[in-house]
A and B are shown apart, each in its own frame.
Chain A
Amino acid sequence: MDARESSGNAPVQKATRDMYLPPERRKIADGGTAHISAREFSIYYGEFEAVKRVSADILSKYVTAIIGPSGCGKSTFLRAINRMNDLIPSCHTTGALLFDGQDIYGKFTDEVLLRKKVGMVFQKPNPFPKSIFDNIAYGPRLHGVNDKKKLMEIVERSLKKAAIWDEVCDRLDKNALGLSGGQQQRLCVARTLAVEPEVLLLDEPTSALDPKATAKIEDLIQELRGSYTIMIVTHNMQQASRVSDSTMFFYEGVLVEQASTAQLFTNPKDPMTEDYITGRFS
């Protein structure tokens, strides 16, 4: 593809350590390697270009926030990373999106394997209509774990990581749909963690939650920082600045600015970014 060939001279916002301030968080970076890289990457719904020639790097084991007004292509970009957009027949891409240096949309990419490594938590909690145990065990079972004791271990570990173990440990065999919205969302996080992915994509994970549940999810992100590469879409500026190391600002499909969260929120380079974070438009 010509887009990919021309990627050499494209203006890439190279990931640098500076992007990932503050420094006290740097010690967890393993050299700041790019886990996911986009090069001139565009996503189309039919004729409509929803994400426009984005070039960016997302560093391994950091938390990257994506902000931007509604309809600017945040979800579309996020869903491209684990190829959830494949479900939409009209959706296609140009350019390159690399995961560990491999083209996600390459001919030989196994999207099932990719999704195992790139887990996703959706805006609306979507547990299966099964028991809590079966929800968490669903992924491990898919990937060949059938031993009851091993499954129980995984379920317990995942639920503990997602800070929901104490609330559900005595009703693991109850249907997950009986949980509250916030509990369901944390259950979905646990379900994703049970597969042991490398990347965690969170699409507005707290938009349906009350402040208390939101705080729990944010604590969870803090805890997972350093072990997973996390990308989180959010409309909540405070949340972005609280939990993320680096922030990407999208506007109408274009990646306007990517910088360390501290820098982007205190000293944005682009006037548009400034307008957005100061609330002059949304």
Chain B
Amino acid sequence: MTNLKEMACQIRQDIIEMLAAAKSGHPGGSLSAADIVAVLYFSEMRIDPENPSWPDRDRFVLSKGHAAPVLYAALAEKGFFPREELLKLRQTGHFLQGHPDMKKVPGVDMSTGSLGQGISAAAGMALAGKIDNKSYRVYCLLGDGEVAEGLVWEAAMAAAQYKLDNLLVILDNNGLQIDGPNKEVMNSEPLADKWRAFGWNVLETDGHDTGGLNASMEVAKNLRGKPTIILAKTVKGKGVSFMENQAGWHGNAPSSEQADIALKELRGVKA
């Protein structure tokens, strides 16, 4: 059984290394989601790195596709492809695209990057599971700025209509988007009331507490008849103190000096 905290820390280090190598990409929202993704890939999901397109596998859709580094790091750590590949992120001709590409990257279940579309596709996958009487579950990670997309709510409504209790959405509630705090750019609160009003079960947890995330996911599995969302309170840039809670670190890669400082700090956490 993997130590989830350590795995999340390893994933954070991978993120920093890949972004520094690529010299572009999105650190803030990748780091905020590291614990969530670690719990999904190393505890929660039934998947097989030897057989990425296993029909009965659980699925994960990174609706906030700009956080591709966190997904790629988890997939590499899980063994879907060699870790060395991570350092070629975003390079011409390499399979690790800037945003997830299901046709190019083993283990990626849906191509995303245009915000709002992932949850809609995830709900479709869950519906397919219902139609086929399959037991697989579909997981989807949503951004808190992303919920301004109308399509998110179109998908939310339909998932409740079709009673997609095999769909679990996790909201990376880091409070920030590109142009600033969600509250200033486009206030989405009260989130819990909104999702409840759309017919969803709502759970709330600390998105950096792997135990709490695990427990919420267990609870969600036993909630029948409705889709569930976990509102996971997170810190954007989590783990790298100079990136934490800074909108400016949404889409800028660290320089190699900044990456060194960040890696030192992350390795310190692990020790």
A binds B: no
